[in-house]
Structure 1
Amino acid sequence: MSPRIRPAALLRLAWTIAFALLLTACAAESPEDTSGARLSGLVVDPQLDEISGLAASRLHPGVLWSVDDGGNPERLFAIDARGQRIATFRVEGVPKTDWEDLASFELDGRAYLLIADVGDNGGLRRSLQLHVVEEPARLENARLKPAWSIAFRWPDGPRDCEAVGVDVARRQVLLVSKKREPPELFRLPLRAPDEGLLTARRVGTLAGVPRPVATPDRPLTRLQRMQSHVTAADVSPDGHTLAVMTYRHLLLYRRDARQSWRSAVTDAPDVRVLPVLPQAEALAWSRDGRTLYATGEFIPAPLYRIVP
């Protein structure tokens, strides 16, 4: 009697084959150098189908945290560097409109995760929220409650945003707009002075974001026009580099200890071409700051380690 193959195993095999074919096809069309990237794992878990934010754990070596897009329950996922889910945490007491990024940081001897409910595809939201939860000490399914939340608005009307990082030394949250050209950088205090609605402060605009160029005989497609949209960001653990991801590129804005972020993002960034990453949505510095992790929104999603 032939052994029975479980449907889940068949589905994983189909995903893997489809992803391999996609890699081959895209690599043939893209001769650009992505030598700094190595495949770390493959996300195939159906519950991780819409990863929109990624952060490296400050408590658990080798563990990454992730959130998914709007329309899903309020939850955090712990995954390993191969892309396999370890545990799921429900976040209680907060609504979920459009969670679009995640950041990890340490403050006063404790490890935290900042959940950015800042997505606004239609440009309709009058207020947005950041929720900070303390990292759980144990990696097992459980429930979490925010340690604090920040409600805020933009200074001059709604805009879409999917990129947030924490500069813990300056007690600031950095936010990068998605669809504006050039992208705008904003900041908020990491701890709100009260429970009122804050207004994000505009810091400046990002220089050097690559944009495709149209020609008279070859106009840009919609996908090409979207390539420069910023979809994720993270501040390195040492606080000296802001990593920004678009659908096509990784940009590294470096600053010295005395330089402001306003000054740093006006300098030309170090630009890298992303490896094959359909719907690039999530980016995170590793715990030691030596590499970056990047993945996409739809499974099967490759999980890359990128040496900056």
Structure 2
Amino acid sequence: MRRRLPASLSRSIVAIAMPAVLALVAGGCARSDDVEDEGQPHAELSGVLLDLQLDEISGLAASHRHDDVLWLHDDGGNPPRLFAVNDRGGRLATFRVEGVTKTDWEDLAAFEFDGKRYLLIADTGDNGGLRRTLQLHVVEEPATLENARLQPAWSIAFRWPDGARDCEAVAVDARRGEILLVSKKRQPPELFSLPLRPPAGELLTAQRLGTLSGVPAPDPERLKRAPRRARIDSQVTAASLSPDGRTLAVMTYRHLLLFPRAEGANWADAVAQAPRVSVLPWLPQAEALGWAADGGSLYATGEFIPAPLYRITP
């Protein structure tokens, strides 16, 4: 969470920073010193987030109900709200989520369950490692893109099995009735699961499934040049499950990892195998990732305004 600047100052900063953002994007979308050593997916600039309401974006999911529409939410310290934007980054509508307390929203997932389309909001951030319980809120995806208020269809309260941890990456496997959660700061990252539709009112304990293999370690040269940044490069900041339910995409501050799940395998087996790893295009603090509704690409953006909105074809 960051201290918010006055709107007039924020607009000035956006105006000044915008040419630099476009120059970085036009310069190849990736850090030139990374490409020789690691693969780079094809990334196209879909749009740019310029709206000051879209500062601190920490969750992204592609709509399964509206063509070329993305859902976004922002970090803690802001009202409990969801934004509908087009695939160029323009805000279409804002939805206030009522009846919930927003502590630290960190990820967003879109899914279909029992014939309805839903969005899952993950209030799972815990920078200080102090939260005893965390919440997941499920809202039905709005049919109309007009400013409105939403109520959760259901909420899930849970805790970790062995003490607090930060978590910014959550995905939904509706076919298996399972929510997947990936820890942020522990190395290697840990994978947990929760039931998607548990009995109401219960405090659940997340089940630890295993750890993620293949998360790149800090590069020695990067450690010399930018030690602080290099040490956090491998922290997981978002996750998303492909619409066919077969590939878990995981984002760190520097990389995109794809974990395919073989027929008959579970997610513990899938993340134990070496993933496909590629370097992300340039992003100002990579925080939000979501598969496109057609499953052929992923959208990604960062936390600061202005921020590029990419469509990445792995």
Q: Distance in 1 between matches of 2:122 and 2:99?
A: 15
What residue number does 1:52 align with? Answer: 58
Q: Distance in 2 between matches of 1:219 and 1:301?
A: 24
Flag the 1:226–1:8 CA change in 2: closer, same or farther, 3 A. Answer: closer
What residue number does 1:141 align with? Answer: 147
Of the structure 1 ranges 273-282 and 12-21, higher mean CA displacement relative to structure 2 is found in 12-21
Give secondary structure in 1 for the equivalent of 2:61. strand
Flag the 1:177–1:12 CA change in 2: closer, same or farther, 3 A. Answer: closer
The offset of 1:222, in angstroms, is 1.3
| Pair 1:292-2:302 in alignment | no
Q: Distance in 2 between matches of 1:28 and 1:205?
A: 28
| Pair 1:304-2:310 in alignment | yes
Q: Is the 8 A contact 1:56 1:284 kept in 2?
A: yes
What residue number does 1:4 align with? Answer: none
Of the structure 1 ranges 204-213 and 64-73, higher mean CA displacement relative to structure 2 is found in 204-213
1:40 partner amino acid: S
Instruction: Give the share of equivalent positions with the same residue, in percent.
Output: 65
| Pair 1:70-2:72 in alignment | no
Q: Distance in 1 between matches of 2:14 and 2:191?
A: 40
Large movers: runs of 4+ above 3 Å: 7-15, 21-31, 217-220
What residue number does 2:16 align with? Answer: 14
The offset of 1:255, in angstroms, is 1.0
Q: How does 1:16-31 map to 2 (within 5 A)?
A: 16-23=18-25, 24=27, 29-31=32-34
The offset of 1:22, in angstroms, is 4.0
Number of corresponding residues: 301
Give secondary structure in 1 for the equivalent of 2:198. coil
1:14 partner amino acid: I
What residue number does 2:5 align with? Answer: none
The offset of 1:214, in angstroms, is 3.4
What residue number does 1:272 align with? Answer: 278
What residue number does 2:85 align with? Answer: 79
Q: How does 1:49-198 map to 2 (within 5 A)?
A: 49-198=55-204
What residue number does 1:3 align with? Answer: none
Which of the numbers 204, 211, 222 marks the counterpart of 2:217?
A: 211
Of the structure 1 ranges 10-19 and 72-81, higher mean CA displacement relative to structure 2 is found in 10-19
Give secondary structure in 1 for the equivalent of 2:106. strand
Give secondary structure in 1 for the equivalent of 2:18. helix
Q: Is the 8 A contact 2:30 2:279 kept in 1?
A: no
| Pair 1:40-2:43 in alignment | no
Deviations 1:3-26 (A, max 9, x none): xxxx99987653421312444498
Flag the 1:25–1:58 CA change in 2: closer, same or farther, 3 A. Answer: closer
The offset of 1:113, in angstroms, is 0.1
The offset of 1:28, in angstroms, is 6.4
Q: Is the 8 A contact 2:118 2:140 kept in 1?
A: yes
Flag the 1:28–1:72 CA change in 2: closer, same or farther, 3 A. Answer: closer
Deviations 1:7-64 (A, max 9, x none): 9998765342131244449856535153511111100100001100000111101000
* Structure 1 length-normalised TM: 0.93
Q: Distance in 2 between matches of 1:261 and 1:162?
A: 18
Gaps of 5+ in 2: 1-8
Q: Distance in 1 between matches of 2:232 and 2:152?
A: 34
Gaps of 5+ in 1: 1-6
Give secondary structure in 2 for the equivalent of 1:120. coil
Give secondary structure in 1 for the equivalent of 2:288. strand
2:48 partner amino acid: L
Q: Is the 8 A contact 1:213 1:220 kept in 2?
A: no
The offset of 1:213, in angstroms, is 3.5
Q: CA RMSD in A?
A: 2.0
1:38 partner amino acid: E
Q: Is the 8 A contact 2:10 2:52 kept in 1?
A: no
The offset of 1:212, in angstroms, is 1.2
Q: Distance in 1 between matches of 2:207 and 2:41?
A: 37
Which of the numbers 243, 247, 272 marks the counterpart of 2:249?
A: 243
